[in-house]
Structure 1
Amino acid sequence: MRRQILMASAALALVSASPVLAQQVSPAEAEGIQQRLTRYLPQEMIDAGLVTVRAATSFYELRFDPAVLLDKARSGAVAIEGLKPVTAYLRPLPEGTYRIEANENLDIKGSVTLGEEKNAFSYVIDRMKLDGVYDPEILYFTSADWTTGRLAFSSSSPKESVTASVGETAMRTVAEKKDAGILDISSTGVMKTFAQTITGGEAGRVEIGADSLDIDVSMDGARYKVLQDFVFFVLDNMHKEKLEPAEAKQLMELLRASLPVFDNLTETIRASNVTVGTEQGSFGAEAVTYDLSMNGVAHSTRFGFGFGVEKPKPPAGLLPAVYEGVLPEKATFRMAMADLDLAGAVNYLADHADFTKAEPLTEAQNEELGRIVLPNGAMTMEFEDVSAVSPVYDIHLSGKMTVYPDDKERHSADVTITMRDFDKTVAYLQKNSATVPEFAQASFGLLMMKGLARDAGDGAQAWDLTLGEDGKVLVNGRPLPFQP
Structure 2
Amino acid sequence: MSVNRVLPVVFVLALSAPAFGQTVDEQGAKQLSENLARYVGSQAIDKGVAKVSLEGDAYKIAFDFKALAGMLPKQNFAKFNLAPYALLAKPRRDGKWDVSADMSTSASFEVEGLQGPQSTQLAIAGGKFAGVYDPELAAFASATTSMTGMTMDSRDAMQRVKVSTGPGTATMSAAKAVNGGADFTMTQTIAVFAEAIDFDDPNSGLKFPLAITSPGLSVNATGKGIRTKPLLDLLAFAVANEDEAKLKGNQAQLKSLLLAALPLWERIDGTYGFKDFAVDSPVGRFGAAELGTSFGSDGIAQNGTINYAIRAAGLTIPRNVLPSWSAALLPTDIDLNFGGANIDLDSMTKKAIEAFDLNNKPPLPADFGDQIKADFMAKTPKFVIGHSTVKNGGIEIVLEGEMTFPGATPMANVTLDITGYEKIVETLQTAAKTDPQAAQYFSGALAIKGFGKTLPDGRLEWVINTKADGSVTVNGAMLKPADSVGTDDSGEEATP
Partner amino acid for 1:143?
Answer: S
**Residue of structure 2 in register with 1:400 after alignment:** 402
Equivalences for residues 107-256 of structure 1 within 5 A: 107-113=106-112, 117-179=116-178, 181-199=180-198, 200-201=200-201, 204-241=208-245, 243=247, 247-256=250-259
Name the CA distance, whole Å, in 1 between partners of 2:384 and 2:445. 25
In the alignment, the residues of structure 2 paired with residue 113 and residue 258 of structure 1 have an alpha-carbon distance, to the nearest angstrom, of 39
Amino acid at match of 1:389: K
Question: Does the alignment pair 1:342 with 2:345?
Answer: yes
Shift of 1:71: 4.1
Residues 207-240 of structure 1 show CA distances to partners (whole Å, capped at 9, x for unaligned) of: 2222222111111122333333333333322322
Q: 2:33–2:45: 8 Å Cα contact kept in structure 1?
A: no
Structure 1, gaps ≥5 residues long: none
The equivalent of 2:50 in structure 1 is: 51
Note the alpha carbon deviations across 1:31-72, whole angstroms, 9 max, x for none: 211221233445554234322222344222222222322444
Residues 257 and 31 (structure 1), Cα distance of their counterparts in 2 relative to 1, 3 Å cut: closer
Counterpart among 269, 274, 299 of residue 271 in structure 1: 274
**Residue 4 of structure 1 corresponds to which residue in structure 2?**
4
- Match in the other structure for 1:79: 79
**Aligned residue type for 2:256:** E
Checking the alignment, whether the CA contact within 8 Å between 2:83 and 2:106 is kept in structure 1 is no
8 Å contact from structure 2 (residues 472, 479) kept in 1: no
Shift of 1:384: 0.7
Worse-matched range after superposition: 306-315 or 103-112: 103-112
Partner of 1:296: 299
Letter in structure 2 aligned against 1:387: T
Offset, 1:29: 0.7
Q: Structure 2: how far apart are the matches of 1:10 and 1:92?
A: 18
What is the alpha-carbon root mean square deviation over aligned residues? 2.9
Query: Which residue is equivalent to 1:359?
Result: 362
**What secondary structure sits across from 2:126 in the alignment?**
strand
1:198–1:60 distance in 2 versus 1, CA, 3 Å? same
Q: Deviations over 1:425-458 (max 9, x none)?
A: 3333334332345545555555555555445454
- Shift of the alpha carbon at 1:335? 1.0
Matched, 1:93 2:96: no
* 426 and 131 in structure 1: CA distance in 2 versus 1, 3 angstrom threshold: same
- Other structure's SS at 2:349 match: helix
Counterpart pick for 2:378 among 375, 378, 389: 375
Q: Give how far 1:361 is off.
A: 0.7
Separation (CA, whole Å) in 2 of partners of 1:124 and 1:329 = 37
Structure-1 separation of matches of 2:448 and 2:413:
17
How much has 1:152 moved relative to structure 2? Answer: 0.6
Identity %: 24
Give 1:281's aligned residue: 284
Task: Name the structure 2 match of 1:390.
Answer: 392
Q: Which string of whole-angstrom CA distances, capped at 9 and with x for unpartnered residues, describes residues 51-109 of structure 1?
A: 2222344222222222322444578953345x433232212112111111112422344
The 1:76/1:347 distance shift into structure 2, 3 A limit, reads closer
Counterparts of 2:458 and 2:114, CA distance in 1 = 68
Q: CA deviation at 1:413?
A: 0.9
Specify whether residues 367 and 451 from structure 1 end up closer, same or farther in structure 2 by C-alpha distance, changes over 3 A only: closer
Deviation at 1:126, TM superposition (A): 1.4
Provide the secondary structure at the position in 2 that maps to 1:13. Answer: helix
Q: Distance in 1 between matches of 2:371 and 2:139?
A: 37
Counterpart code for 2:478: L
Q: 1:329 to 1:115 in 2, by over 3 A?
A: closer
Shift of 1:184: 0.9
CA deviation vs aligned residue, 1:184-216 (integer Å, no higher than 9, x gap):
111111122221222224562222222222111
Change (3 A) 1:401 1:21: same
Rounded Cα–Cα distance in structure 2 between residues aligned with 1:229 and 1:423? 63
The structure 1 segments of at least 4 consecutive aligned residues displaced by more than 6 Å after TM superposition are none
What CA distance in whole angstroms lies between the structure 1 residues aligned with 2:114 and 2:317?
Answer: 42
Instruction: Confirm or deny: 8 A CA contact 1:397 1:417 kept in the other structure.
Output: yes
CA spacing shift, 1:241–1:196, aligned 2, 3 Å: farther
| Alignment check: 8 A CA contact 2:308 2:337 kept | yes
Letter in 2 for 1:348: K
Q: Pick closer, same or farther for the CA change 1:300–1:456 going to 2, 3 Å.
A: farther
Alignment pair present for 1:32 and 2:31: yes
Distance in 1 between residues matched to 2:367 and 2:329, nearest whole Å = 52
For residues 44 and 100 of structure 1, the distance between their equivalents in structure 2, rounded to whole angstroms, comes to: 25
**2:477 — aligned with what?**
479
- Residue 14 of structure 2 aligns to a residue whose secondary structure is coil
Residue aligning to 2:494: none
Which stretch shows the higher mean deviation, 311-320 or 93-102? Answer: 311-320
Q: How many residues align?
A: 476
SS in 2 for 1:363: coil
CA contact (8 A) 2:14 2:35 kept: yes
Q: Secondary structure at the match of 2:243?
A: coil
* Whole-angstrom distance in 1 between the partners of 2:141 and 2:8: 13
Cα displacement (A) at 1:396: 0.9
1:143–1:311 Cα change, 3 Å = same
The change in CA–CA distance for 1:39 and 1:252 in structure 2 (over 3 A counts) is closer
Post-superposition Cα deviations, 1:312-359, rounded to whole Å, max 9, x if no partner, equal 221242223211111111123321122222111012113322234343
Gaps of 5+ in 2: 483-496
Verify the 8 A CA contact 1:341 1:375 in the aligned structure 2: no
- Tell me the secondary structure at the aligned position of residue 158 of structure 1: coil
Aligned to 1:359, the other structure's residue is in SS state coil
Instruction: Indicate if the aligned counterparts of 1:339 and 1:374 stay in contact, CA closer than 8 A.
Output: no
